[in-house]
Amino acid sequence: MGWFWGSSDSNDGNKSQDPLRDLDPSLRDFLAKESPVKYSSSNPTVAPASVPAPTPSPASKPIAPEHTTEEGSEPKVPPQSLFKDGRYAHLWKTYQSQAETEAAGKSDQEKINDVLEGYKYRKAEIGRAALENCALEQWQVNECFRNGGWASRLTMCRTENRELERCYLMQSKFLKALGYLSTFDRPPELDERIQMHADSLYHRMLEQEKAIEAAKAEGRPVPSFPPLLSSNSKNLPVPIDESGLQPSDLKPKIQKGLKKRLEGLKDDEREVEERAIKAEIQAGVQVAEQLGSIYEKQAEERRIRKEQGKETIGDKITSIFSFR
């Protein structure tokens, strides 16, 4: 049977067993260069065509890892890269996540709405997390309405409802005090740690109250406990920031309203309430700073357009009603 268009004779021992022997020399050279399988001729007179070593193209050359330290021991690897040895690091220099790309295309009004919506979302998340931590109290209320005695049903399960209400309020305060209201982006794992720590602090507070009541009933000295938050400052998921705006720095009218929130509270509840108030103030400062940066950017853009003679009607109206 012929090979391509040539003929082969298996009985002819004088002919070479080279499968390319009957091809045109130029075609044989082309196949020798381009074919991934290299054929070696058994005929010593027919030497295989020498294939020059392919020169690596610039795209196929290995990329040397970039270094950030002076010693050159640590490669500069972007966190998004899957190759920790520095490969393709040059491709990640201009990388932008989807959130960054979307944020770059948003208008100033959309950015302002995002800041305000983020603050509202955090407040709503506090309520959701507090209800999750009070799941046992919710179950007790439902169980009371289903299988409770006639006395409990006549009082609409007042005892269980009070426990649920107090759990919800204190859990919310603990979450605020631990920084759950912060508008800065955090990983979900940290939010879960804050939620679990708030639940553990609430149950620790209940245990301390039971110990105090038992000591009073037995006529023993009332035991003293360290502050719930201050004693665990090293174990908190988020360090408590004592700096920044304090309640004493606010207007007298606002201070009066905050003092009412502290009236009639126990020592441990008063401490948590004070921490929650400070956390609310710091969250408000964060929102104000984020909005302030957007307003400053708008004012700078209006100033540049005015200097370039490209001031719009909206810029003129804004400059009239602006107090900056």
- The predicted structure's pLDDT at residue 166: 95
Residue 23: inside a domain? yes
Q: Could you tell me if 279 and 148 lie in one domain?
A: yes
- The predicted structure's pLDDT at residue 133: 95
Residue 309: inside a domain? no
Predicted TM-score of the model (pTM): 0.62
Q: How many CB atoms lie within 10 A of CB 183?
A: 19
Q: Could you tell me if 230 and 264 lie in one domain?
A: yes
Q: Could you tell me if 44 and 67 lie in one domain?
A: no
Do the Cβ atoms of 219 and 262 come closer than 8 Å? no
pLDDT, tens digit (0-9, with 9 covering 90-100), for 31-54: 777 766 665 555 444 444 444 554
- The predicted structure's pLDDT at residue 290: 86
- The predicted structure's pLDDT at residue 250: 78
Q: Could you tell me if 132 and 38 lie in one domain?
A: no
Q: Is residue 315 within a helix (H) or strand (E), and if so which, with residue range?
A: helix 313-321
**Domain count across the chain:** 3
Domain of 45? Answer: 1-51
Residue 294: inside a domain? no
Q: Which regions in the chain score pLDDT beneath 50?
A: 1, 3, 7-15, 43-51, 54, 56-72, 231-232, 324
Rounded to whole angstroms, the Cα distance separating 226 from 205 reads 11
- The predicted structure's pLDDT at residue 45: 44
Four-residue CA torsion sign, 149, 155, 158, 161: positive
Q: Could you tell me if 86 and 114 lie in one domain?
A: no
Residue 135 CA: distances (Å) to CA of 50, 108, 155, 297: 79, 41, 22, 46
Rounded to whole angstroms, the Cα distance separating 279 from 299 reads 30
- The predicted structure's pLDDT at residue 19: 67
Residue 244: inside a domain? no
Q: Could you tell me if 75 and 204 lie in one domain?
A: no
Residue 135: inside a domain? yes
Residue 231: inside a domain? yes
Residue 179: inside a domain? yes
Q: Could you tell me if 132 and 263 lie in one domain?
A: yes
Q: Could you tell me if 71 and 21 lie in one domain?
A: no
Q: Could you tell me if 213 and 179 lie in one domain?
A: yes
Q: Could you tell me if 22 and 87 lie in one domain?
A: no
Q: Could you tell me if 192 and 86 lie in one domain?
A: no
Residue 249: inside a domain? no
Do the Cβ atoms of 245 and 291 come closer than 8 Å? no
